[in-house]
Amino acid sequence: MGTTSSVYAIAGKPSLVTKIYIPRKILVLSNMLSNLISSLLEFIIIIPIVYVVLGHLPETIVLFPLIFLIYFWFVYGIALFLSSVFVYFRDLSQIWEVLVNVLFFLSPIFYPMVQITDRTRFFYLLNPLTEFVIMYRDVMIYGTLPAWYSLVITITASIAAYVIGSITFNKLQRRFAEEI
Amino acid sequence: MSAITVDNISKKFRLPHHKKTTLFQHALGLMKRQMTYEEFWALRDISFEVEKGETLGIIGRNGSGKSTLLKILAKVLYPDSGTVQISGKIASFLELGVGFQPELTAAENIYIYASVLGISRRETGMVYDQILDFAELKRFEDMKLKNFSSGMYTRLAFSTAVNCNPDIMLVDEALAVGDTAFQKKCMAKIDEFKAQGKTIILVSHAMDTVRKICDRTVLLHNGVIVSLGDTDSVILDYASLSGSAGLKPEHIPLAVDWDGDGRQELCLFKHGLWFIDMDHDGEFDPRSDKKLGPFGVQPGDIPLAIDWDGDGRQDLAIYRQGKWYIDINRNGTFEPGEDLELGPFGGQPGDIPLAIDWDGDGRQEMAIYRPGGKWLIDLNRNGIFDPGEDLELGPFGVHPGDVPMAIGWDGDGRQDLAIFRKDTLYIDTNRDGLYREGTDLAPLGPSPLAEAGTPLAIDWQGNRRQDYCIFLDGNWYMDSERNGLFLEGGYIRFGPFFR
């Protein structure tokens, strides 16, 4: 997750905030882009592994960039929120690290969704990461198209994250230079 | 067209009692419900405009709000109220070399710093060689920045910044860069900027630099503008604020026919400097008007305009402790030997000097109004009062706070005596040194405006009659009705003298 390092995107560059005017979202975006590059490299490693294991590459893998784009905007929205709030609450980084761990184990990454009982399934689906994991699996391993509702949920979640993140960021950024 | 319009901005800082930076501390604070911070106004109701091509200095003591103001202009801080409008590309040098990466080479850092300043890669490429040449670092182009000396580092940063061709530059004491030769180059670059019509805002403690390059200057004190206008006079205001000159920022208005065209010009005497409104528009503009001095100021000095030699032009003079110092060579400063020193006239405490053409021969004589109401006019023009030879008139009638005046009211070529008392001007038109209602001109006034201001007599129109004028809050009010009432429509207003 790129969000952990994005927490420091603003507070970690004091001179670019207090000494000069640049649109501050650029700092978050640049942090996101460098995370994007490293995670793209990770995905590139997966592709030959998938080929070796499956013996072929599913055609649906061409949908991967689309899902990745939705995922990127989702993370960007969260990063905007976290980086601006962190300027005021410096223990957010520790809190967030714990939360990310919790979310990680609460998403079906080490285990498939079929192992989830019907009773807890609903709560799993509340986690937007679940849908992303399911979609990635669909296109990269199973070779099936992602479900429509998964797309709708993730796109909605991305837009919501971006809007909330932007509003928070715009509101809080007015006093960045004073707080850092 | 103004480059920067600052309209009534205020900025408030929070001074927390205990700095809370964690969620935990905030939660505790919420439970205790204590007042967590004090408010502190760093700036209050700041308004000014900067014209295109103008250089504005911002001076003030530490903590007066200079840097806060500059940061607001640079959009780093946001004002709590008020607006700032800026037209043009702005480059702020609050600190040089923001965004420099020590692990990268000089060449790469030029591109990075330029992009931080808002310059595209292509534009930077066009001035790239210029930047390295100006910084004198062509040989070190591919060297990593971490191996640069601090001088090289700042030179590179400054050179990148100035060669990026901004319309408006905000500079915070960044000019003390490099050795003398490089500083000279920087000053030359700044002059070049000024010649190109670029706008510069400079925050500095170096008064020499401010005096050299700033057209106008703002003096901030405790977050408010104390003084705004001509650089020299604002610097003197600053000096008096710091207590180093021991002077109050006083303005003394004068009327002086400096050029001898028969019209008297408005003039303000401030901290030993004379500001003469040569173009008769009621405002002081350093480009078209005249600034003279410094005369050398001592507390209690009284400035005068006097046509001593009768050449039709009035000269500047200072009355200092009973003596007259007349600037005969007309350069605004007093040089013993070249200029005229007369007196002492008598020099009793409370004496007020006047220049008056009593006999109408075209030359003005020196005179003294002595508390108690007596007029002593030096008719034999030796600077000393000789009973018998010189004229003693009055008493005019005593009243504390009376201001004496010589005024050519009736236009017969001779100036008459007058007294300004509280809010009314009394002119002794029958020239007996006494004021009697009925035989002298009816009193001019009363007027609340006159009570608040400083009176003077001025032949503004050049018709050989002097009119009554009131100087108040930097504005000049000419009594066009000639009744001393200064009612709405009964005066012509000029000013403010300093924009």
Question: What is the pLDDT tens value at each position of chain A, 180 positions in all?
Answer: 567 778 888 888 888 888 888 888 999 999 999 988 988 888 888 888 988 988 888 888 888 889 999 999 999 999 999 999 998 888 888 888 898 888 888 888 878 777 777 787 877 777 878 888 888 888 888 888 888 888 998 999 999 999 999 999 999 988 888 887
Look up residue B61 and give its two tokens.
């003591």
Concatenate the DSSP letters of all residues of B343-403 into one string: ------TT-EEEEE--S-SS-PEEEEEETTTEEEE-TT-SSS--BTTBEEE------TT-E
Q: How far is CA B269 from the centre of its chain?
A: 11
CB within 8 Å: A91 and B22? yes
Pairing state between β B352-356 and B37-51: unpaired
Q: Does B26 touch chain A (CB under 8 A)?
A: yes
Rg (CA), chain A: 18
B144: Cα separation from own chain's centroid? 47
User: Given an 8 Å threshold on Cβ–Cβ distance, is A15 in contact with B98?
Assistant: yes
A121 min Cα distance to partner chain B (Å): 32
Measure the CA–CA gap between B447 and B427, rounded to whole angstroms. 16
Distance from CA of A78 to the nearest CA of B (A): 18
Q: Do A15 and B74 touch (CB under 8 A)?
A: no
Which of these, B125, B136, B118, lies nearest to B186 by C-alpha position?
B136
Lateral strand order in the sheet of B265-270: B251-256, B265-270, B273-276, B290-292
pLDDT, tens digit (0-9, with 9 covering 90-100), for B302-349:
888 998 888 889 988 888 878 888 888 888 888 888 888 887 877 677
Determine whether the interchain pair A20/B23 forms a contact, defined as Cβ–Cβ distance below 8 Å. no
Distances (CA, A) of B316 to A106, B81, B269, B285, B292: 89, 46, 10, 20, 10
Scanning B67-86 for CB atoms below 8 A from A yields 71, 74-78
Residues of the domain holding A49: 3-179
A89:B13 CB<8 A = no
Query: Looking at the predicted structure, is the pLDDT value of residue B123 above 70?
Result: yes
Q: Residue B13 corresponds to which tokens in the numbers above?
A: 């800082």
From A12's Cα to the closest Cα of chain B, the distance in A is: 12
Distance CA B44, CA B61 (A): 16
Is B116 in the A-facing interface, judged by CB distances under 8 Å? Answer: yes
Using an 8 Å Cβ cutoff, are A27 and A82 in contact?
A: no
pLDDT exceeds cutoff 50 at B244: no
| Residue pLDDT, tens place only, B401-460 | 788 889 988 888 889 888 888 888 888 888 888 888 888 888 888 888 888 888 899 988
Do residues B467 and B457 touch, judged by C-beta distance below 8 A?
yes
Count of A-B CB contacts under 8 Å = 50
Interface of A with B (CB under 8 A): 15-22, 88-92, 95, 174-175, 177-178
Q: Which pTM was predicted?
A: 0.65
Confidence of residue B249 (pLDDT cuts 50, 70, 90): very low
| Distance of alpha carbon B471 from alpha carbon B270, whole angstroms | 14
Question: How far is the alpha carbon of B81 from chain A, nearest alpha carbon, in Å?
Answer: 13
DSSP chain A: -THHHHTTTTTT-HHHHHSS---THHHHHHHHHHHHHHHHHHHHHHHHHHHHHHSS--GGGGGHHHHHHHHHHHHHHHHHHHHHHHHH-TTHHHHHHHHHHHHHHHSTTSS-GGGS-HHHHHHHHHSHHHHHHHHHHIIIII--PPPHHHHHHHHHHHHHHHHHHHHHHHHHGGGHHHH-
Q: Chain A residues with CB inside 8 Å of B26's CB?
A: 89
pLDDT, chain B, mean: 83
Best of A13, A19, A22 to disrupt the B interface (most B CBs within 10 Å) is: A19
Dig out the tokens for B405 from the structure.
């005046």
How far off is chain B from A90, nearest CA to CA, in Å?
A: 5
For strands B216-221 and B55-60, give the pairing: parallel
Q: Does B23 touch chain A (CB under 8 A)?
A: yes
Q: Please give the helix or strand (H or E) that residue B315 lies within, else none.
A: strand B315-320
Contacts of A89 in chain B (CB under 8 A): 21-23, 26
pLDDT at B224 over 50: yes
Q: Which of B21, B78, B95 faces A19 most closely, judged by CB atoms?
A: B95
Sorted by sequence, the CB contacts under 8 Å of residue B249 that are 6+ apart come out as B227, B236, B237, B240, B241, B270, B271
Predicted confidence (pLDDT) per residue in A43-77, tens digit: 888 888 988 988 888 888 888 889 999 999 999 99
**Strand-by-strand arrangement of the B323-326 sheet:** B302-306, B315-320, B323-326, B340-342
Number of domains making up chain A: 1
Q: How confident is residue B176, by pLDDT bands cut at 50, 70 and 90?
A: low
Answer whether A179's CB lies under 8 Å from B21's CB.
no
CB contact under 8 A, A21 and B76: yes
Is residue B162 within 8 angstroms of chain A, CB to CB? no
Beta bridge partners of B455: B470
Which helix H or strand E contains B494, and what residues bound it? Answer: strand B492-494
